[in-house]
Amino acid sequence: MSKFLKNKLFRYLYLCLFLNSLILPVNSSSALAAWTLKTNGVLELRTKSNTNLKAYFQKGNQLYGDRFWVDFPGELKNPRTIKGNGPIKEIRLGKPNMGKTRLVIEFKEETYLTPLTWRMVGLDQNRWRIKLFTPKYSFKEISEGIVTKKTRNIKANQNSRYVKKRTNDYLQLPNVKQNKFLVVIDPGHGGLDPGAIGIGGIRETDVVLEVSKIVKKLLSDKGVKVFLTRKNEVDLDLSPRVSFANRKDADIFVSIHANASRGKRRDINGLETFYFRGWRGRLLAKRIQKQILRVSPGSPDRGVKQGRFYVIKNTRMPAVLVEIGFLTGRLDARRLEKNTHRKRIAYAIAKGILEYLSKAG
């Protein structure tokens, strides 16, 4: 972080942190591929896939107006300043330090902004959107490059069907040997025990059961035998879940849960995966954690951890417990209540499992 940021005289607001697995080497080119500030005050960004973004807001002072900036990994070639219009004074692209790119949007003095309501939304693997202001008068779009189209792919391959397939590549699940593996999926809680209750009354038991059923379907389509510890709303104790998996002699055991924070804090979001012992359990946890993060941009990576949960401690096969987000967190809950996101999370878990099985199974 630059000296400027550490200076306590400046009030800055840390907006979002996107954690992902790929860290680019210092000398690589900028991860920012294109950006556009649209007439409705929405900033859209296109980056390399798996990019860490950090966004900040800083109140204006005598020298500068209010500023919003985003830091990207990779070094910018040509620092430049672009004149603004409407509420925008100017937009600067610079390298705050070696190997970094910074996009700064400086507002004119009189602009009224509400940074506390700002939220960076990941549109897909490499596109982002944040609403910065609502123009009072007309505002002319400012942009560099094309955010919406994947121009690089189109250039590289004229076959449009191929391009389409590539943009959905997170949907491509790896193949494993058919009829070789047996997986037990354990949807947490159930019946009288709803698990975590989140914003708007969203219940862990419902979310994880639905996700688990989709995971089962996806794995079955790949020739993996899958058993669920519960198929409906029954209150199932922990020990029958374990003995079921042990009796089936499953290759792996995956327990699916969603989190709640103490005091139901809406600012706490994130994903985490636990294992109890062994490199296999750890590898399985890592594969799943990596994939669920990919489909949950903006939600913090709480990591792969060792945990002493009963179901992963007492099962005899590599076993993990995955927490797919905080139902009490504003960002996670809003996502987990949507079917589209539940499907994406299920895809991600299935992908992590299949990756593990193809490598270590």
Dist CA 11 CA 58 (whole Å): 6
Query: Which stretch, 5-13, 180-188, 286-294, 311-319, contacts Zn ion (CB under 5 A)?
Result: 180-188
CB–CB of 118/16 below 8 Å?
A: no
Question: CA nearest 260: which of 215, 307, 306, 207?
Answer: 207
Name which of 188 and 198 has its Cβ closer to Zn ion.
Answer: 188
Contact letters for Zn ion, residues 238-267 (x by CB under 5 A): -------------------x----------
Position 289: which residue type?
Q
Q: Is 188 in the site for Zn ion (CB under 5 A)?
A: yes
Please state the separation of Cα 200 from the chain's center in Å.
Answer: 22
Amino acid identity, position 209: L
195 binds Zn ion (CB under 5 A): yes
Stretch that binds Zn ion, among 109-117, 190-198, 221-229, 306-314 (CB under 5 A): 190-198
- Residue 54 found at the interface with Zn ion (CB under 5 A): no
Structure tokens at 94: 């610079």
Residue whose C-alpha is closest to residue 358's, from 180, 176, 188: 176
Question: Interface with Zn ion by CB under 5 A: which range of 71-79, 92-100, 195-203, 347-355?
Answer: 195-203
CB 98 → Zn ion: shortest distance, Å? 44
- Count of residues that interact with Zn ion, criterion CB under 5 A: 3
b/e per residue 252-275 (b: at least 16 CB within 10 A) = bbbbbbbbbbeeeebebbbbbbbb
Q: Assess contact for 34 and 142: CB atoms under 8 A.
A: no
Q: Which stretch binds Zn ion (CB under 5 A): 13-21, 191-199, 240-248, 348-356?
A: 191-199
Nearer to Zn ion, 100 or 241 (CB): 241
Task: Give the residue closest to Zn ion by C-beta.
Answer: 257
Binding positions for Zn ion, rule: CB under 5 A: 188, 195, 257
